[in-house]
Amino acid sequence: MQKMNFRGYQVNYIDIDANPKLGFYFPFQILIPQNLNNEPELIYACNLPGDYSKNCESISDLIEFIKKSVDGKYGAIDKMMMHLCLEKGNPMIIPFVPRLTNFRPNFLGRDCLLNDFRLVGEDKHFAKEMYMYNNLDFQHKAMIDTAINVLREEQIGDFSKVVLCGYSEGSKFASHFALLHPEIVKAIVAGGTGGVMSMPISSYDGYEFIYPTGISGLKHFDFKEFSNIFFFYYMGDKDKSDSAIPYFLDYRYLDKDGNVQILKDECGNSTPLIDKDGNQVFTRDANGNYRAKFNLFSDSEVNAINKVLGTKIQDRFRKQEAIYKNLGLKATFIIYEGNHHTVFNNCDKLFSDVDNFMLDCKKKHKITL
């Protein structure tokens, strides 16, 4: 066990190298706060290293680059992860699974489920090492199992499950992983969801919800284990980041200097024009169906999401809340006023709500054991 200063906190940490024999091709780190909670939870950070692939010739080089880069390792460690780990005294697992320019493994989408990595553009020169991403959900599970054993040897906690913590794309990872391995997930704390969390349903209102939007296409799904998970989902009322946004024509305008610009949201993604009635302007196909603007979800998934849940992400969020509640799941959904996607102002209220959620989770979990 080693020591370091992590964003102003003195912490202990353990580096775990990739170990294919134990089931994982990627390294990870365990952060152990010095103010360790008397009854700690084990946090699994849904970490999203940025795209550094242009600096590297191979996946192996990319892994080493990320390990040596502070931004590469910790760039996606957000305030919530910091709070749960460093302020509340819970150890945290940080996996280092690199993405490529167009391949985003930490979304844990259908390509990862099927080991069907269709690389495009500059990503193609990594093809020889893509076997390292095979069965990625099981690799994450193996990292969790290994971390639990390492901590047990250090006499830290007595863990059997983790609390998944993620934001934005990390929130999708959390909900996707929970469908695949609910047996190892105690709770989820995830924000900036875009109203597209996974749902334990195969269809709704005549539309199929295929993995990762739902459970259609999964060979096995354990609803009983899934129903044991405690969920805390949150977002801002001014959040407009939408990974399942339908196709639209980019809106171009002239800035004050006369330069042509594309209308973009706070995350830098192109965003549709708003009509005089306040509605986003999308284009549909000849059958009136929505198509995908981005590549995280397929056309059929985007159509189902927007037809069933709505085109506004806050409306989707409330519809998903109702679906979770109707299924009897232990779920908390909160929209915080005055907050965007990249700027979350009232963290004190959010942290207080999450702290109460975690205490309630701990009490109820003991009752159900």
pLDDT number for residue 188: 98
Distance CA 132, CA 62 (A): 12
3-state DSSP percent of the chain in helix, strand and coil, to 5: 35, 20, 45
8 Å CB contact between 86 and 8? no
Domains in the chain with CATH codes: 2-243+299-368 (3.40.50.1820)
The answer to whether the pTM exceeds 0.85 is yes
Alpha helices in 181-248 (DSSP H): 223-226
pLDDT tens figures, 49-105: 888 999 899 999 999 999 888 888 898 899 999 999 999 999 999 999 999 999 999
pLDDT tens figures, 156-202: 999 999 999 999 999 999 999 999 999 999 999 999 999 999 999 99
Q: What is the mean pLDDT of residues 15-36?
A: 97
**Where residue 284 falls among pLDDT bands split at 50, 70, 90?**
very high
Question: Length of the chain, please?
Answer: 369
Distance CA 226, CA 145 (A): 19
**Where residue 135 falls among pLDDT bands split at 50, 70, 90?**
very high
**Where residue 278 falls among pLDDT bands split at 50, 70, 90?**
confident
pLDDT number for residue 216: 98
Token pair listed for 358: 């975690």
Distance CA 129, CA 63 (A): 12
pLDDT number for residue 69: 87
What lies within 8 Å, CB to CB, of 124 at 6+ separation is none
pLDDT number for residue 155: 96
8 Å CB contact between 230 and 364? yes
pLDDT number for residue 368: 58
pLDDT number for residue 364: 80
The DSSP output letter for 122 is G
